[in-house]
Amino acid sequence: MNLLKYVNGMLINHQMMSVIRRTLHTSTIALLLVTVLLSGCSNSNLGTDSVNAQGAITEQANGSTTAQAAAPEPVSTDQPTNKEEAKTTSVASPLPLKEGKVVVHYIDVGQGASQLIIGPSGKTILIDAGNNDKEKVVTDYLKKQGVKKIDILLGTHPDADHTGGLDAVIRTFDIGKIYMPRVQANTKTFESVLTEIAKKGLKVSTAKAGLTLEWEPDVTIKMIAPIGTYPDANDMSAVIQLTYGTTSFLFTGDAEVESEKDMVQSQVNLNSDVLLVGHHGSKTSTSEAFLNRVNPTYAIIQSGKENKYGHPTNVVLDRLAKKGIKIYRNDEQGNIVFSSNGKEIIPSVTEWKPSTKSAVPVQPVSKPIEVSPSQATTEQKETVYYKNCAEAKAAGAAPLRKGDPGYRAALDRDNDGIACEK
């Protein structure tokens, strides 16, 4: 049972949170939440919370909990409205502005994800903040950009490689509105994020399809997922589309095929110039049908160099390449920045191209070349032979594509035409 059951509008008295933390991993946590929070104790700074019998915060009709007892929020249906979003307008951060431009920073956080968006008037959005060990990378990067306030903070889903640095961000900067999907994780990382939210007396609004986020007057931000409820937390990822003039960006978190299928079937306009490739380039995301509907010019992949998951996969890279989509990668190119003036999009770096490495060239001799310690067979005379991928990598030849000297089916374990790619 998850001991930190999170839902929309969470606001917990800091003193109560410290008690909860001390008993976090005991069987009494649910009873503690009920008995302490149902008592209705409050102070002038944090207001009151209500919970159900299972210890979850009770959601109000408008999709968030009441934060101030003396000034209750207007009641509406559970459907998102512009009126609901307009309640939390925020003051623009004092940034060095790029007049009339939206600037999107895809921050290099290794095997994780984080994107900073700065609007024409200087308002900010931060989507995710990498893993726990990258929190300083993110906070330092934000400071370097002159960020003082995060007007909208979006945690796409509870995985540590997306939420790990959010606690430090909340602790370091002024925060406007926070969005998270209704999904939970029984981890210290997620607990730490909730703790920092509680310390500042902030509340969380549910991230779900159908919302329009109030941000910059000339920028439209629509949340298009999650559409339903999914057993996999990745599919619960919040997905947003930002449109500025005739240009558009799609941010997908770790949304996988099930969520992608629902987005396609929803008939929402997914067409976007720039796609943040889902789940770091895993083959479980960026399906053919989804990619066809998005039809991007540019694709950004956020993954760590030589990560253990093999991200981005060759399946996804090939799918993007076949469609002529320009690829950009944090693991190969570091921080990547795209700017839009509403008419055209300009990337900070040139597109990534696959390595042109090839095997050791064959010398014009009459007998086969020997690559120690392996011996070429009779059938492999006049060519290069690698006993295994370790030898290919040692020779600087990996990855080997079908037709390259040294390629053979035995080295291509996934039969995708590329050997020794991991």
Whether the Cβ atoms of residue 37 and residue 49 lie closer than 8 Å to each other: yes
Q: Return the higher-pLDDT residue of 61 and 326.
A: 326
- Say yes or no: 255 and 106 in one domain: yes
- Say yes or no: 221 and 262 in one domain: yes
- Cα 193 to the chain's mean position, in Å? 16
Residue 352: inside a domain: no
- Say yes or no: 312 and 393 in one domain: no
- Say yes or no: 369 and 312 in one domain: no
Whether the Cβ atoms of residue 335 and residue 106 lie closer than 8 Å to each other: yes
Q: Range of 33's domain?
A: 1-73
pLDDT of amino acid 99: 64
Residue 79: inside a domain: no
Element (H, E) at 321: helix 314-322
Boundary of a domain, candidates 347, 369, 387: 347
Boundary of a domain, candidates 313, 347, 381: 347
pLDDT of amino acid 369: 42
Does the pLDDT of residue 37 top 80, yes or no? Answer: no
Angle (deg, nearest 10), helices 29-37 and 14-22: 160
Mean predicted lDDT score pLDDT of the chain: 77
* Burial class of residue 346, CB neighbours in 10 A (0-12, 13-18, 19+): exposed
Most confident of 181-190, 240-249, 363-372, 399-408: 240-249
- Say yes or no: 66 and 114 in one domain: no
- Say yes or no: 69 and 169 in one domain: no
- Say yes or no: 123 and 269 in one domain: yes
Q: What number is the average pLDDT over the span 110-133?
A: 97
Integer Cα distance of 415 and 290 in angstroms:
24
pLDDT of amino acid 77: 31
Residue 83: inside a domain: no
Does the pLDDT of residue 135 top 50, yes or no? Answer: yes
Residue 86: inside a domain: no
Does the pLDDT of residue 335 top 90, yes or no? Answer: yes
- Say yes or no: 364 and 259 in one domain: no
- Say yes or no: 51 and 156 in one domain: no
Tell me the C-alpha to C-alpha distance, in Å, between residue 410 and each of 298, 373, 396, 422.
34, 18, 19, 15
Residue 78: inside a domain: no
- Say yes or no: 193 and 118 in one domain: yes
Percent of the chain with pLDDT over 70: 68
Length, in residues, of the chain: 422
The end-to-end CA distance of the chain, in Å, is 37
- The SS3 of residue 234 is helix
Confidence of residue 233 (pLDDT cuts 50, 70, 90): very high
Confidence of residue 291 (pLDDT cuts 50, 70, 90): very high
**How many domains, in total, are found in the chain?**
3
Confidence of residue 314 (pLDDT cuts 50, 70, 90): very high
Residue 85: inside a domain: no
pLDDT of amino acid 404: 73
Partnered with residue 274 across adjacent β-strands are 249, 298
Does the pLDDT of residue 212 top 60, yes or no? Answer: yes
- Say yes or no: 149 and 255 in one domain: yes
Residue 330: inside a domain: yes
Smallest Cα–Cα separation from 297: which of 318, 328, 267?
328
User: Of 318-322, 342-346, 375-379, 411-415, where does mean pLDDT reach its minimum?
Assistant: 375-379
pLDDT of amino acid 109: 97
- Say yes or no: 188 and 268 in one domain: yes
User: Of 147-151, 162-166, 247-251, 385-389, where does mean pLDDT reach its minimum?
Assistant: 385-389
